[in-house]
Amino acid sequence: MSERLQPGDVAPAFTLQDADGTEVSLADHKGRKVIVYFYPAALTPGCTKQACDFTDNLDLLAGAGYDVIGISPDKPEKLARFRETESLKVTLLADPDKSVLEAYGAYGEKKLYGKTVVGVIRSTVVVDEEGKVERALYNVKATGHVAKIIKDLGI
């Protein structure tokens, strides 16, 4: 079971491929706040709702100084299909070996329909301009989550 991050922790560095196969690193965003959200699978109802909510609020978040990155175990080709199908504007990164998901505590045991399974734990980590964890939210709901983040961050 991976450790959950706490406010004040240094956010684990990562470099992953985006939907176009281009490498994107957390370090590329130094000096800006970053909302890194982890979701189980592209092109599924809950994950689509969440990604669309982030896309719909991207201008508001960017205006407040936040970049948004979504990470799932999907391969870049599936992320490209997800982006095109849903007209997504958020940066989607592929973590097929789940190393970043594990580093952020977003992979492990969870309850699914009353059963304990191992998988992606829907999570959001807000990283400050210095690369430290500002907030770490685990087991979040896909619906209404973006509105809650906006409210909590005072945007």
Helices (H), 7-144: 45-56, 58-63, 76-86, 99-103
Q: Are 139 and 122 in contact (CB under 8 A)?
A: yes
Q: Are 101 and 38 in contact (CB under 8 A)?
A: yes
Sign of CA dihedral 116, 95, 128, 56: negative
Catalytic member of 26, 47, 94, 101: 47
Q: How many CB atoms are located within 10 Å of the residue 62 CB?
A: 13
Provide the residue type at 7 as one letter.
Answer: P
Rg (CA), the chain: 14
Residue of 100, 90, 124 whose CA lies nearest to 26: 100
Catalytic residue list contains 47: yes
Residues assigned a catalytic role:
47
